A and B are shown apart, each in its own frame.
Chain A
Amino acid sequence: MTIEVKLANIIADPGAYGALKPVDDAFTELRRDNPFDIAEPDGYDPFWVACKHADILTIERQADLFHNGDRSNNLLAKDAIRMARAFSGGESNIFRMLVTVDGAEHRALRAVTFPAFTAKALQGVADDVRKIAREFVELMLNIGPECDFARDIAFLYPLRVVMQILGVPREDQPHILKLTQQLFSNSDPDLNRSGTDVTPAQAMAAINAVMQDLEAYFGVVTQKLRAQPAENINSLIANARIDGEYLTHRQLMGYYILVATAGHDTTSNTTAAALWALAERPEVLAQIKADPAQMNGFVEESIRWATPVKTFMRSATADTELRGRKIAKGDWILLSYHSANRDEDVFANPFDFDITRKPNKQIAFGSGPHVCLGQHLARMEMRILWEELLPRLKSLELAGEPKWTKSVFVVGPKTVPVRYAVN
């Protein structure tokens, strides 16, 4: 038995994630009728689809049995995989970074910046984050009574926070934002490099071009920071050594690119989706304003609601079994975090936005050894922004139609037009 092609094609279609409902409908059906089976969309190698919350936890917490880097860790068409292999000099993934390596290499790379991203360490930058949040709140209130919250605030605030922590000068930040959007939204003509609809192979060629631009930028950064180390994350990366040696060129570039792009894009997406949800639910805004203790529940539910990373791939390192199905060594497995975060077995009324869920067992950051390095920073950024913004808002409503980006990987609202009044 396999997943019918119509459903399989939806799972692999960036446009379906832009519309969202086809994806929600497809995964609701799969969770109910066929929770772990093989899909083979047109043009893709076959892969298992894990759509249940419990199955994704099982897979992610057995990181030795289910590897990130042996095959593509993104859902790519066959021709895009061939191109990634060519661009990377024969590796499975175009980037060599935390999300595409396993075992000892993963542990060593993660240890380079882990101390800076712990919940305790981040308390040391909370005042700086609040200062930046206040700047953006003032900006929003000044440009009111309407703005595009995604483009005017949400894309820029986490970018500024992360760039400050990394040590990227402010004048370079628009360049990094543009390259990030070209990287993660390579299927969306509103944000990608060519400004047009592209084939999977064209998207991969564009990713390679973005990678070259990022490598050019960070090549200079490495030279500067090795000559003159600084108190920031980029300096940790530039000067890191594993077994006495600097990181290889691909490890180094992959690390910079990961923290400089994934470090803000997913938080931007969640922030924009959260305000979209509030604009449609004045009662939730009133609930938070009346009881600020609900803020953490709002942040956690926003993360579940947005689930900005829709999919990652794993591959089995040995023959194994899940839900009574036999997985062969080498099999490719899609993890749908979007589906897991709407799993009826874990979340009552999963299509309701409910800030009172307790506990909220969302797994948008993943789980296990590959859990998102920046999850505590992301939560802190969002909580601080809402603490500064929401008490200032008297009213909030949509002033146009928000739109999701078209991607099977990182998805968020690319526009959230809102109208608001200030207290």
Chain B
Amino acid sequence: MLQPIGEPAFRQYLCRYCGYVYDEAVGDPDSGIAAGTRYADLPEEWICPQCGATKEGLDLIS
């Protein structure tokens, strides 16, 4: 997804349990998360689609 003008850059978060990368620009379409969804806006019930870690298991990498 293109970066909206005037908004903070999209960020990437790494799951510390499995290496999955949540890219805000891409979202997590298989889990119903649209491209452009900020990590902070992920629903609390969202889990890492690769290993099942909770949202808190991801760390900001870029």
Contact = CB atoms under 8 A, between A and B. Distances in A.
Chains A and B form a bound pair: yes
B42 to A, nearest CB: 14
A420 interface: no
B26 interface: no
Chain A's interface: helix, strand, loop or mixed, by majority?
A: helix
Contacts, number: 39
Given A117-B52, A118-B52, A375-B51, A368 B57 contact: no
A119 interface: yes
A120 B44 CA distance: 11
B51 to A, nearest CB: 5
Interface residues of B, number: 12
A117 B17 CA distance: 13
Interface in B38-55: 45, 47, 50-54
Contact of B50 (A119, A120, A361, A371): A371
Nearest to A376: B52
A71 B37 CA distance: 40
Contacts of A361: 16
Nearest to B16: A359
A57 B17 CA distance: 12
Contacts of B50: 368-369, 371
A371 B19 CA distance: 9
Contacts of A359: 16
Contacts of A367: 18-19
A121 B19 contact: no
Chain B's interface: helix, strand, loop or mixed, by majority?
A: loop
A121 B45 CA distance: 11
Contacts of A376: 17, 51-53
A60 interface: yes
Interface in A109-137: 114, 117-121
- The interface centre, meaning the residue of A119, A121, A361, A365 with most chain B CB atoms within 10 A of its CB, is A119
- The interface centre, meaning the residue of B45, B53, B57 with most chain A CB atoms within 10 A of its CB, is B53
30 contacts: A61-B19, A117-B52, A118-B47, A118-B52, A118-B53, A119-B47, A119-B53, A119-B54, A119-B57, A120-B45, A120-B52, A120-B54, A121-B52, A359-B16, A365-B17, A365-B18, A367-B18, A367-B19, A368-B18, A368-B19, A368-B50, A369-B50, A371-B18, A371-B50, A375-B17, A375-B51, A376-B17, A376-B51, A376-B52, A376-B53
For the complex of A and B, list the 5 residue pairs with the smallest distance between their C-beta atoms, beginning with the closest: A118-B52, A371-B18, A367-B19, A119-B54, A61-B19
